Amino acid sequence: MKYGSGIAAVDHYVNKEYDSVFGMSSQFAAIIAAHVMDHQTKLGISGNIAEIGTFEGRFFIAMALATQPGEKGVGIDTFEWPSPKVRDKLHAHMVRLGVRTADMTILTANSENLKPANISGPAGGPVRFFHVDGDHNPKALKHDLDLAYAVMHPQGVICLDDMLHPGFPLLTVAVYEWLEKHGDMRVFCVIDREDIVAAPKFMLCKHEAAALYEEDLLKAFPEWHFDAASQWGKWIAIVLTPNPRFAIVE
Ligand SMILES: C[S@@+](CC[C@H](N)C(=O)[O-])C[C@H]1O[C@@H](n2cnc3c(N)ncnc32)[C@H](O)[C@@H]1O
């Protein structure tokens, strides 16, 4: 399957170079995220990008290639696993794949120790797309969500990795508990992934911004829309999946 976000540089990277950057995020999710960023640009929503858990940069590079001139980015990781060399690999990938490295700040840090100013400072303003993919324990996720919320553009998006992953079932509970305390926020899209590991990403935004994204996603990707919505009690969210179907149990 060939994926298209509407941004040529991202589409080239995701379809031709994605596997050259070791990482965990799916091509499908990178394309949807870049499409959302392209849509933000068209709506005049400008701002920066940030990611916790940048690793070798697989998803960060897609986000960075979707930024506009003048927009900045912050990539945060402890860069300890599998060795500190991972930070050098990230830098080499960014250079090789045409990212504006001068606009990207790479922070070697445990997000637990960061304050919002550590992110909005280097970025120099609100963040319009924030990918949270760091420590996969519920307390850390709530902390990272607080950081992302504190720096987000009012119409921005927070994207969460590894939701519903069999290995991290309590992350979804943490998101639900966090949303109960942040009544202005909701999940507006669940991005499924290509393989058997059920680890979708959730995209969150403020309630009043949801309509900006939902209609556009349904129009842009009708073939990937799973008709039955994702049920969140007080609202529903779109589900995008590479293979929309009901499970066949034989
Ligand atoms: C699953 S990998 C990220 C994959 C990457 N985003 C991608 O798309 O390929 C998770 C990363 O989070 C980092 N990490 C874990 N806990 C962290 C923390 N508390 N602060 C910053 N980074 C953390 C790890 O070092 C690891 O590189």
Give residue-wise pLDDT tens across range 168-200: 889 999 999 999 999 999 999 999 876 655 678
Does residue 76 have its Cβ closer than 6 Å to ligand 1? Answer: yes
Mean pLDDT of the chain: 93
Atom of ligand 1 nearest to the CA of 24: 9
SS3 of residue 215 by DSSP: helix
As given in the structure block, the two tokens for residue 187 are 């999940």
pTM: predicted TM-score of the whole model, two decimal places: 0.94
pLDDT in tens, 126-149: 999 999 999 999 999 999 999 999
Ligand 1 atom nearest the C-alpha of 110 is: 20
Helix (H, G, I), strand (E, B) or coil at 33: helix
Per-domain residue ranges of the chain: 8-240
Nearest to 237 by CA among 179, 202, 170, 188: 188
Pick the CATH number of 8-240 from 3.30.70.580, 3.50.50.60, 3.30.2000.10, 3.40.50.150: 3.40.50.150
Q: Give per-residue pLDDT as tens, 154-176.
A: 999 999 999 988 778 899 999 99
Let me know: does 21 contact 93? Beta carbons within 8 Å: yes
